[in-house]
Amino acid sequence: MIERCAWVPPNDELYIAYHDLEWGLPLFDERRLFELLCLEGAQAGLSWRTILARREGYRAVFADFDPERLAELDDDRLEAILLDPRIIRNRLKVFATRDNARAVLKLRTETSLAGLLWDVVGGAPNQNAWETTDQIPTSTPEAETMSRILRARGFRFVGPTICYAFMQAAGIVNDHVVSCFRYREVGRSTSAEA
């Protein structure tokens, strides 16, 4: 029997696929990082399962998280998006998605989103060695630093807890427990491509 992190429900195929194929795998592509950062912000106050089940809807509504296209959305278009049942229809979160896209574009004059995010951990994933999921923190000093940097750059819905969940999902930290079959596989992906 395959051993996974305890947060993965044993009969939830969506969660299993997400855990086994995506969660914790170091991610360097700007658009995918931006998508994940926006989805983690959308998740605030909700379960990740809720967002994961709507991810394709988010991709359709938000132009596959293309920052250039999202940055151009006007308020009327965002108001129309708020009527779409494929996403969580929270006004602040929907408008933050556009604002975050604009922040990504502004950031490009100095660095890349990937470079900014990975710089927080020195360009390579932090390799943790948790025995149980109870040991895993909800935030760290690195997440607090990332949150501060992103907020200063105009990003919204990027508090320390959201940033740490993002760091886990994007493989900026390896928080698979050591008994999980993905722990060693993800741990081998340690060189930054940012």
User: Active site residue: 18, 22, 72, 144, which one?
Assistant: 18
- Contacts by 46-53, CB closer than 8 A, 24 or more apart: 46/88, 48/165, 49/12, 49/14, 49/15, 50/88, 51/88, 52/14, 52/15, 52/18, 53/14
User: Hey, how many other C-beta atoms are within 10 angstroms of the C-beta on 33?
Assistant: 24
Degrees to nearest 5, angle at CA 190 with 173 and 53: 50
Rounded distance between C-alpha atoms, residue 162 and residue 169, angstroms: 11
User: Active site residue: 15, 23, 30, 40, which one?
Assistant: 40
Q: Is 40 a catalytic residue?
A: yes
Rounded distance between C-alpha atoms, residue 126 and residue 114, angstroms: 16
| Half-sphere CA count of 102, side-chain side, radius 13 A | 13
> Could you give phi then psi for residue 44, rounded to 5 degrees?
-50, 120
User: Active site residue: 48, 72, 144, 185, which one?
Assistant: 48
Nearest one of 67, 80, 73, 70 to 32, comparing CA atoms: 67
In contact, 3 and 131? CB cutoff 8 Å: no
- Active-site residues, by number, are 18, 40, 48
